[in-house]
């Protein structure tokens, strides 16, 4: 009997990631990491912005032109969303690091507060940007036109 080929024992398997119902706590946790990586990509835009400003008005206008383009605005909107989410949820994490908000209902309440803060702050920021910011201001329209003119002459 011991000489026969070992039969495969049916051991119980631990439930894997895909069989879990997504919970707010786990979804917000993975979103924290995803927005963190997203913000890292945003740092490249941030670096482009500063380096362009140091190079001069031409390079700065190219950046501003990109920032005003649909792709640029989409990236910046994502950056704003990720920024406010990561900021608020990071503060939630700092509470946990200090041993607070561990009761499951408090973890959930703080989670909803994070989502509300993210939505409100992103909306408020873009309300200001679209109504008072570069897309509404004559000086940047001038910068953008200058960039376009520069692009045409090249």
Partner 1 sequence: MNMKWDNHGMKTPLARARGLGASHAAVPGWIRLRVTAIGTAVLSLWFLWFLSQTIGTSHAEFTAKLADPRNAICMLLLIIAAFTHAVLGNREIVEDYIHNEFFKLSKLVGMYLFFFALATACIFSILKIAL
Enumerate binding residues for partner 1 (CB under 8 A).
33, 36-37, 39-40, 43-44, 46-47, 50-51, 53-54, 56-57, 60-61, 83, 87, 90-91, 93-94, 97, 125, 128-129, 132-137, 139-140, 142-143
- Least separation in angstroms between CB 135 and partner 1: 8
Instruction: Provide Rg for the chain, Cα atoms.
Output: 24
Q: Which residue number, 24 or 41, has a Cβ lying nearer to partner 1?
A: 41
Instruction: Determine the Cα–Cα distance for residues 153 and 38; give it in Å rounded to an integer.
Output: 35
- Least separation in angstroms between CB 126 and partner 1: 12
- Please name the residues in contact with 148: beta carbons below 8 A apart, sequence gap of 6 or more: 65
Residue 24 in contact with residue 108, Cβ under 8 Å?
A: yes
Q: Which residue number, 111 or 147, has a Cβ lying nearer to partner 1?
A: 147
Residue 22: φ, ψ to 5°: -60, 130
Instruction: Return the DSSP state at 4.
Output: S
- Least separation in angstroms between CB 143 and partner 1: 6
Q: Which residue number, 93 or 108, has a Cβ lying nearer to partner 1?
A: 93
Residue 61 in contact with residue 150, Cβ under 8 Å?
A: yes
Q: Which residue number, 74 or 94, has a Cβ lying nearer to partner 1?
A: 94
């Amino acid at each position: 009997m011991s000489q026969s080929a070992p039969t495969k024992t049916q051991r119980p398997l631990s439930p894997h990631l895909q069989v879990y119902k997504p919970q707010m706590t786990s979804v917000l946790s993975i979103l924290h990491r995803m927005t963190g990586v997203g913000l890292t990509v945003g740092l490249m835009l941030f670096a482009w912005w500063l380096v362009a400003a140091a190079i001069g008005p031409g390079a700065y206008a190219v950046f501003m032109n990109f920032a005003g383009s649909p792709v640029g605005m989409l990236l910046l909107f994502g950056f704003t969303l990720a920024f406010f989410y990561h900021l608020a949820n990071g503060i939630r994490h700092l509470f946990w690091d200090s041993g607070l908000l561990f009761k499951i209902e408090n973890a959930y309440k703080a989670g909803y507060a994070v989502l509300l803060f993210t939505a409100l702050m992103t909306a408020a920021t873009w309300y200001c940007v679209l109504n008072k910011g570069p897309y509404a201001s004559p000086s940047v329209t001038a910068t953008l036109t200058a960039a376009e003119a520069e692009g045409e002459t090249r």
